[in-house]
Amino acid sequence: MIHCKIDNFISSIMPFYCISKALGLAPLVIHKNESIINGIKFKTKVILNILYTFMIGSVIICLFVSHIRYFWKQIYPYGTVNFFVADLCSKLSLYGIPFVSVILSVFNKEELSIILQKIHEVDQKLSKKSNIYIKIFIFSILEVFLAICCIMILYEIIVITWGMDPFIFFYYETFTHVITLIVDLQFVNILMYVRYLFNTLNNELYSFVDNHSNENINTILFFKKFTVQNVHNLKTIYKELQEIVELINSYFRWQIVLETSGIFVHLVTTIFNWVLVIEHYFETNENCEVYLYRIYSLFCWIMFYVFKIFVISISGELCINQAHVTLNIIHKLLLNTNLSQETSKCLINFVFYTSCKRLRIKNGIFEIDMTLFHSVFAAALIYVTILFQIE
């Protein structure tokens, strides 16, 4: 009988880690023992893991070539130029994003391992609820199951409403969508746990100051003494969390850029096709029920892409907001007139440090917050309008 003890961050993410590893998106191991790393058996496993990852990438390329080859002969010659360009861009992003994600994971697996280890180290320094790891364990299983079911249901709706043949290409796309979703969930889950660590840090800081007395500065209550050691612990944890965020920015840089671009392309093409189907519905008196089903299926896909970019954007927004709460509490602590001169000086230096080096979640091109969601959605609507003017 296998006994699984869920008592830390690493053990709580094991279901999600195993799924990621099966798709070639995770390191061979998270915790590395020097005696094991230097062994021949481990090095052989590493080589096999790299070959397996490249095999996943090769499968994605083969599926893409097969898909494009069929459409080039059977679909594109009978469509408009706009349809050809939009659909080709859609398929390039659909297969290109998971391919790049899988290949990048070969070169960046060490970096992902470092991120998880650093989160685990910070996690051990903060006091948390005892059942949080069990909740993460259960939630990671549920989210993967729901994500895969969502993709399969959406494609089943397409197959039923459009009746396209052969159906095999829908299952090609299901596979690539699952890989992309796992990458998105990696990014979102890591960010949300970093947010949780910031929240835990804030709760510990609130033990020094009354959270509810912020209407009037003169009525702020200070519950216990804040010492230099407290400031040192605060700075250490905050800097470690900041370093984790920078590593996240570095590791997911290209994946998020490509995913955002892919969502934009899919939104433009899907909204464009959706509006065309609506126009056909009002222009024809035949097969009205079929057109209604098609309108519904395309609307479901639009909501899917909107939800994806919303979740990516809101995860960054929530994480940054929680980090800003930490800074607000520190400013409150500075109002305490009972602080020693040395403690006040340490706090002021820390505030100066955080003011000069603001925490940001970005990928080198744009910041990941709710402005990203608004920008992508607004730009998609503008490009759809341009496509109809060209049409």
Decide: 297 and 162 in contact? Cβ < 8 Å: yes
360: CB partners within 8 A, 6+ apart? 245, 249, 320, 367
pLDDT at 214 over 60: no
Average pLDDT, the chain: 82
The string of pLDDT tens digits covering residues 327-382 is 888 877 777 767 778 878 888 888 887 777 778 888 778 889 899 999 999 999 99
Six-digit token string for 213: 């007395």
Mean pLDDT across 130-154: 87
More confident residue, 349 or 62: 62
The string of pLDDT tens digits covering residues 280-333 is 878 776 767 778 888 888 899 999 999 999 999 999 999 999 988 888 888 777
Distance from C-alpha of 232 to C-alpha of 227, rounded to nearest angstrom:
9
Q: What is the pLDDT of residue 24?
A: 84
pLDDT interval class at 38 (50, 70, 90): low
SS3 362: strand
Pick from 269, 273, 263: nearest CA to 376: 263
Distance from C-alpha of 184 to C-alpha of 363, rounded to nearest angstrom:
14
What 3 state SS string does 52-107 have?
Answer: HHHHHHHHHHHHHHHHHHHHHHHCHHHCCHHHHHHHHHHHHHHHHHHHHHHHHHHH
104: CB partners within 8 A, 6+ apart? 254, 255
pLDDT at 32 over 70: no
More confident residue, 358 or 146: 146
121: CB partners within 8 A, 6+ apart? 240
With a pLDDT cut of 90, the percent of the chain lying above it is 19
